[in-house]
Amino acid sequence: MRDQHICLDEQLLLFMDQLEALEEKRHKLNSLIEEGWFSIAKARYSMGNKQVSSLQYASEMEPLVHVEDSLMESGTVEFKCNRAENKTDELTKNNLIEDIGVKEGGLRRRINTKQKENKEEDASEQQETDHQGKTKTESPTPENRDPLKWFGILVPQNLKQAQVAFREVITLSAEIASIQSAILATRKEMQAQMKEKQEKTGKTKPEITKE
Amino acid sequence: MPGRGKLIAVIGDEDTCTGFLLGGIGELNKNRKPNFLVVEKDTSITEIEETFKSFLARNDIGIILINQFIAEMIRHAIDAHMESIPAVLEIPSKEHPYDASKDSILRRAKGMFCAEDFR
Residues of A in contact with B5 (CB under 8 A): 66-68, 82
Question: pLDDT tens digit string along A9-52?
Answer: 888 999 999 999 999 999 999 999 999 999 999 999 999 888 88
**Taking 50 as the threshold, does the pLDDT of residue A99 lie above it?**
no
Q: Is A12 on the interface with B (CB under 8 A)?
A: no
Nearest CA in chain B to A65: B25
Q: What's the start-to-end Cα distance of chain A, in Å? A: 19
Instruction: Give the confidence band of A92 by pLDDT, cuts at 50, 70, 90.
Output: very low
Instruction: Give the confidence band of A4 by pLDDT, cuts at 50, 70, 90.
Output: confident
Residue from B101, B108, B102, B50 nearest B84 by CA? B108
Residue from A54, A164, A77 nearest B34 by CA? A54
Nearest CA in chain B to A81: B5
Q: What is the average pLDDT across A79-96? A: 62
What's the confidence (pLDDT) of residue A98? 45
What's the confidence (pLDDT) of residue A141? 53
Q: How are beta strands A65-71 and A77-83 bridged, if at all?
A: antiparallel
Question: pLDDT tens digit string along B43-52?
Answer: 999 999 999 9
pTM of the entire structure?
0.77
Q: Residues A19, B94, A65, CA angle at the centre, nearest 5°? A: 65
Q: How many helices (H) and strands (E) does chain A have?
A: 5, 2
Alpha-carbon distances of B117 from A3, A4, A46, A197, rounded to whole Å = 17, 14, 58, 10
Instruction: Give the confidence band of A137 by pLDDT, cuts at 50, 70, 90.
Output: very low
As for the ipTM of the complex, it is 0.89
